Structure 1
């Protein structure tokens, strides 16, 4: 079976007798959400030779049944545009919608981060990063410049203290973000060592809420809490964020809850077919 796009590419015969027609079509959202992917969709429209006369802005709140974009062009080009433009809008919009929901669930604190876009294929990760930002979440756990020391880096460098000292030597002035999982010692001991060694952010990446609560408590007790930010992650869900709202945590990395969000369902509707 061949879809309409393949037919249009193969020979153009399907619309050969309609070269003198101009089609106006619209993309309509089947559900409410946050629009993302607008710049890429406009670029693709230009490549296809269609006139994207009206498209909602990046970050717009879309209602169910609302028109997202309207464009005109020859029938063959409209057929090509249908799938490609929706493809460039639907998935990023789903991610932006999920990001917005997570940000609302967390409230003012903790800040919501989704750094999972870096794990996407290179051709796709910028669209995911932009969608995360559009939804109101942060794409990085720290502002540049920073060095992220994951558990593997720490293992290879000989420990938490040694890893932070290495950052100080080669990247002076950059924030050291230290991932801890309780592998080298207890999660509390790792957190205290990281704070005492000069970490800027301690990332408790266990997914266990009791771990991060104990870390912040012990840091406060040791007089170190104000010297370091605490982030939390590990398969965090929307339900988890509601529980973490207002807690003594600076950032929560949600990962898949945002990056793996389903697409925002959209459809193409032909509005008018006119003689040129």
Structure 2
């Protein structure tokens, strides 16, 4: 391992001095059931330390407590550094993937489950945790086709639902718009949005009563089949049994997936290679 990987005054250089030619193997193990994610980043990190990596699992697999993830082979100093740098990628991503899988399995197949909150993460985390959510079976885009997402701030700058949709009417892609009841009754917002070309209505209040009222209003006007109805806003695990019975097409769950606890891992040196 090149010394520039660590600061030159790192104590581990002194601790492992003279052991450069001693090659060991170490294992990374889950200590709890999980859905595996984060392998790409963890393997890249291990390779950057000059370690040989042997993978025991694939991303998306469900594993049991005690199951091996990776075997790492290399000198003592590299393995000591790997314990600090490799586990975090798998631990955090697998926690997100496990939560995503759980949410997906708790809702009926007719509801598209989305995690769009990755866009609010620090840039360096986004790719890893977005992929982790997808590995867990949750979509990371509200619809698969190209779309324009018009949130509350766009609507405020254009002065309302109608003005916002008219401003983007000539642009390609589906029009997805947030409804929050800021411009009148939320059912009136839904009517304005649909009349002006929105194809997905996102009730972003977190209030079940709001999305129920919008769904009922659309049915009453004979419009329900013309749009997809989405719901978001601080949705938690305890809300899912209620949400499962709602007349919605899309549920957007952000923080409850992305803030999932890290999956616990164990790093064990197994002996000479």
Q: CA deviation at 1:215?
A: 0.7
Residue 175 (structure 1) aligned with residue 177 (structure 2): no
* Partners of 1:149 and 1:179 within 8 A in 2: yes
Structure 2 equivalent of residue 75 of structure 1: 76
Structure 2 equivalent of residue 235 of structure 1: 234
Structure 2 equivalent of residue 152 of structure 1: 153
Provide structure 1 residue ranges, at least 5 long, that are not aligned to the other structure. none
Residue 107 (structure 1) aligned with residue 85 (structure 2): no
* Partners of 2:169 and 2:197 within 8 A in 1: no
Q: 2 CA distance for matches of 1:150 and 1:195?
A: 15
Q: CA deviation at 1:158?
A: 2.1
Query: TM-score, normalised to structure 1's length?
Result: 0.93
Question: SS of 1:17's equivalent?
Answer: coil
* Partners of 2:27 and 2:270 within 8 A in 1: yes
- 1:119-138 alignment to 2 at 5 Å? 119-138=120-139
Q: 1 CA distance for matches of 2:166 and 2:181?
A: 20
- 1:54-73 alignment to 2 at 5 Å? 54-73=55-74
Q: CA deviation at 1:20?
A: 2.3
Question: SS of 2:86's equivalent?
Answer: helix
* Partners of 1:112 and 1:251 within 8 A in 2: yes
* Partners of 2:232 and 2:253 within 8 A in 1: yes
Structure 2 equivalent of residue 196 of structure 1: 195
Q: 1 CA distance for matches of 2:227 and 2:239?
A: 23
Structure 1 equivalent of residue 249 of structure 2: 250
* Partners of 1:216 and 1:248 within 8 A in 2: yes
* Partners of 1:30 and 1:267 within 8 A in 2: yes
Provide structure 2 residue ranges, at least 5 long, that are not aligned to the other structure. 1-5
Structure 2 equivalent of residue 29 of structure 1: 30
Q: 2 CA distance for matches of 1:136 and 1:246?
A: 20
* Partners of 1:94 and 1:262 within 8 A in 2: yes
Query: What RMSD over aligned residues (CA atoms) do the two structures have, in Å?
Result: 1.6
Residue 220 (structure 1) aligned with residue 219 (structure 2): yes
Question: SS of 1:217's equivalent?
Answer: helix
Question: SS of 1:69's equivalent?
Answer: strand
Q: 2 CA distance for matches of 1:207 and 1:150?
A: 15
Q: CA deviation at 1:7?
A: 9.3
Q: 1 CA distance for matches of 2:108 and 2:8?
A: 49
Aligned length: 268
Q: CA deviation at 1:238?
A: 1.2
Question: SS of 1:202's equivalent?
Answer: strand
Q: CA deviation at 1:220?
A: 1.2
Query: TM-score, normalised to structure 2's length?
Result: 0.94
Range 119-128 or range 14-23, more displaced: 14-23
Question: SS of 1:226's equivalent?
Answer: helix
